[in-house]
């Protein structure tokens, strides 16, 4: 005589099936099995864990609305689940509702005053909306809870640099680099600070370090590409332009384009250098590329004095007129 599975066993089996599906990267079936598991009675703690798993999977499937619903169900089970408020805040950030995100991060840290990631993302959001002093406050809170958070030090230093508090910016970026000497964003920002302090030699040194470390990370595919990489080439080239070293600037920009083939400002700045050296063909070719990548750059082209010796060239006239029509 065959025995029947208890509800407990059925629930357990569905959880195992969900975990196996997730391990096999079959996220949709993992969700289906978790939903079936929830139909059988279990402890509150187990239900909360299943809902967290579902929310994470919905996030990975790029369905933030359903992730939100899973987090909301957690809160209905336990209003003291700080992680659920944090998860909802992350989803609202993805949905571009910064006000709700901030409110939910605040709720998370109200429940758990040691929730350093919630403070971190609060600081990020306040920085984005332009409330620099609240951003500073919350980054300082992160650092007080996690003194080894080199990203928080870097971000705080970047805000101080924007506010022209260069001594504070230097100290924060220095701390970031001491914790992680290979963090390319901090190396880039140190280059920015040295440039503001008129120390071109040290600025170039740090831009080079940033390029070197970003290249390593890029080829390792450990993080995705972003603007700081191309900006290192751009800022380094700008120093050479300021010093009148146009050929050196072109070399830097050319190297940057090799690694960042869609970086519009690298092409644009190289075009300006070529124009000043009266290499008209090369300048127009680079402007054409910059315009293809970013048509709005026509606004800069129209007023940039570095391009004045191109304005009578028929190719330049045709190129800029066409872009004005397109826009």
Q: Write down the pLDDT at residue 7.
A: 78
Q: Write down the pLDDT at residue 182.
A: 94
- Dihedral through CA 98, CA 100, CA 104, CA 110, nearest 10? 90
Q: Write down the pLDDT at residue 201.
A: 97
CB-based burial label for 199 (10 Å; 0-12, 13-18, 19+): middle
Q: Write down the pLDDT at residue 323.
A: 63
Segments of the chain with pLDDT less than 70:
1-5, 215-229, 323-327
Q: Write down the pLDDT at residue 3.
A: 44
Q: Write down the pLDDT at residue 1.
A: 39
Q: Write down the pLDDT at residue 320.
A: 85
| Closest-CA residue to 280 (of 315, 244, 256) | 315
d(CA 203, CA 235): 9
pTM to 2 decimals? 0.86
Q: Write down the pLDDT at residue 217.
A: 45
Pull the structure tokens for residue 216: 């390593």
């Amino acid at each position: 005589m065959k025995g029947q599975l208890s509800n407990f066993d059925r629930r357990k089996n569905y959880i195992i099936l969900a975990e196996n599906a997730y391990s096999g990267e079959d996220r949709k079936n993992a969700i289906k099995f978790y939903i079936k598991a929830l139909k059988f009675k279990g402890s509150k703690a187990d239900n909360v864990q299943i809902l967290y798993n579902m929310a994470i999977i919905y996030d990975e499937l790029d369905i933030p609305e359903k992730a939100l619903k899973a987090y909301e169900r957690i809160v209905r089970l336990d209003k003291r689940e700080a992680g659920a408020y944090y998860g909802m805040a992350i989803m609202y950030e993805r949905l571009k509702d910064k006000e709700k995100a901030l409110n939910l991060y605040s709720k998370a840290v109200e429940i758990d005053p040691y929730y350093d990631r919630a403070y971190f993302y609060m600081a990020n959001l306040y920085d984005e909306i332009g409330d620099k002093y609240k951003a500073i406050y919350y980054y300082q809170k992160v650092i007080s809870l996690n003194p080894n958070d080199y990203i928080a030090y870097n971000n705080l230093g970047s805000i101080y640099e924007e506010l022209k508090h260069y001594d504070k910016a230097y100290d924060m970026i220095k701390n970031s680099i001491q914790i992680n000497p290979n963090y390319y964003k901090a190396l880039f920002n140190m280059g920015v600070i040295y440039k503001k302090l008129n120390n071109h030699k040290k600025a170039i040194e740090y831009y080079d370090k940033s390029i070197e470390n970003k290249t390593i990370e890029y080829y390792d595919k450990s993080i995705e590409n972003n603007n700081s990489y191309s900006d290192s080439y751009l800022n380094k080239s700008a120093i050479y332009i300021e010093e009148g070293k146009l050929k050196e600037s072109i070399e830097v920009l050319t190297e940057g384009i090799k690694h960042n083939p869609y970086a519009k400002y690298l092409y644009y700045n190289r075009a300006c250098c070529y124009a000043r050296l009266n290499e008209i063909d090369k300048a127009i070719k680079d402007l054409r590329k910059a315009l293809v990548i970013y048509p709005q750059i026509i606004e800069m082209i129209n007023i940039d004095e570095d391009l004045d010796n191109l304005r009578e060239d028929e190719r330049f006239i045709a190129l800029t007129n066409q872009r004005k029509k397109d826009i």
